[in-house]
Structure 1
Amino acid sequence: MKLFLIIFAGLILEVCVWIGVGDLVGSMWYVFFWFMAAFFIGLNLIRKYSSGLMPQMQQMQMGQMSGDPALASNLPKILAGFFLMIPGLISDVIAVLMLIPAVQKAFQAGMMKIMMKRQQAMMEKMMGGMMGDMGGMGGAQGQNPFADMMRQMQEMQNQQSGRGDSTIIDGEAREVTPDAKKIEFKDVNPK
């Protein structure tokens, strides 16, 4: 509801600015032509900087790739293109501000911080669910499908060590004779 009110207030403010600027320059046609030009400029910005964006963002979200500098530098430009495509003078001013390098650096830092927090929260949720269900309920009751498996692995480890100390590794040693028969690889493609 709060977001709807913010969007509605922004829309009313944009219309008021349109009317004010149209009266100031003498014709609403100039404002209309500016909106058309800004739309195509924004569309070109998005096309130019968004190639390969989705696979990179999915890899970052999955934790497979740390912050790619090309992605981080292109995100503010893509967002500026989106703001230029929205018909409105306030959104165009925001877009022009986002094209300033200092603002881009601040935006990049903020976005990377948000992505890292989100990734950390996802990991904590996953690990918290695994460790939290060990007390009794099991995986069927919890939200994490791996909790049952983690509980079983922890129980097996406790049984093997005897005392419940997970720092002790139990095993046996045996001697290996150096004369043992070795597997030889033969060339498949004779020359």
Structure 2
Amino acid sequence: MKLFLIVLAGLILEIFVWIGVGDLVGSMWYVFFWFVIAFFIGLNLIRKYAVGVMPQMQKMQMGQMNGDPTLTANLPKILAGFFLMIPGLITDVLAVLILIPVVQNLFKNAMMKAMAKRQQAMMEKMMGGMMGGNMNGMGGNASGQSPFADLMRQMQEMQQGSTHQDSNVIDGEAREVKPEAKKIEMKDVNK
């Protein structure tokens, strides 16, 4: 409900700003043409900087990749492009502010903190009380550990670069086996 009220208030404010700027410059057509130009500028920004962003973000959320500098540099520009595509002068001013390098650095730092916090929360949820919490019938063993505690410990050691070798792993070699080709015999149908 709060989001709806914020969007509604923003929409009303945008309309008043449109009317005010239209009166100030002498014609609403100038404002309309600015919206069209800003839309295409925003679309161009998104096309330019959004290449491969989603797979990189998914890797970051899963903890497989730390903050990629190109990703963190491109996200503020993509957000600015999105704001430019929305018809409104206030969102256009926000987009221009986001394109300032100092604001981009603040945005990057805030985004990295949020991603780290989210990744930590996911790890804690996956560990499910591994550090002494009681599972209370949720599949925990007698010592109160999650059934996935060993797996989580191994994943953490791999992320930290640990050289611990598990005694349950069997090393071996693989080779390709070619199956024998069966030949189809052709029988004379006319006999």
TM exceeds 0.5? yes
Alignment of 1:51-62 (within 5 A): 51-62=51-62
1:85 pairs with 2:85: yes
Note the C-alpha offset of 1:130: 4.6
Give the structure with the higher percent helix: 1
Please name the residue that 2:67 is paired with: 67
Note the C-alpha offset of 1:138: 3.4
Alignment of 1:26-175 (within 5 A): 26-130=26-130, 134=134, 136-139=136-139, 147-150=146-149
Whole-angstrom CA distance in 1 between matches of 2:25 and 2:33: 12
One-letter code aligned to 1:137: G
Closer/same/farther in 2, CA of residues 105 and 29 from structure 1, 3 Å limit: same
The alignment partner of 1:147 has SS state of coil
1:16 pairs with 2:22: no
Note the C-alpha offset of 1:76: 0.3
Note the C-alpha offset of 1:10: 0.5
Closer/same/farther in 2, CA of residues 135 and 28 from structure 1, 3 Å limit: closer
Note the C-alpha offset of 1:126: 1.2
Whole-angstrom CA distance in 1 between matches of 2:45 and 2:123: 34
TM-score by length of 2: 0.72
Runs of 4+ in 1 over 2 A off after TM superposition: 128-136, 146-151
Whole-angstrom CA distance in 2 between matches of 1:135 and 1:42: 50
Closer/same/farther in 2, CA of residues 150 and 71 from structure 1, 3 Å limit: closer
Check the 8 A contact 2:135/2:146 in 1, yes or no: no
Q: CA RMSD in A?
A: 2.1
Closer/same/farther in 2, CA of residues 133 and 39 from structure 1, 3 Å limit: same
TM-score by length of 1: 0.72
Unaligned runs of 5+ in 1: 141-145, 152-170, 172-191
Quote the sequence identity (%): 73
Check the 8 A contact 1:42/1:81 in 2, yes or no: yes
The alignment partner of 2:128 has SS state of helix
Check the 8 A contact 2:39/2:86 in 1, yes or no: yes
Unaligned runs of 5+ in 2: 151-166, 168-191
Q: Deviations over 1:102-138 (max 9, x none)?
A: 0000000000000000000111111134556755413
One-letter code aligned to 2:146: A
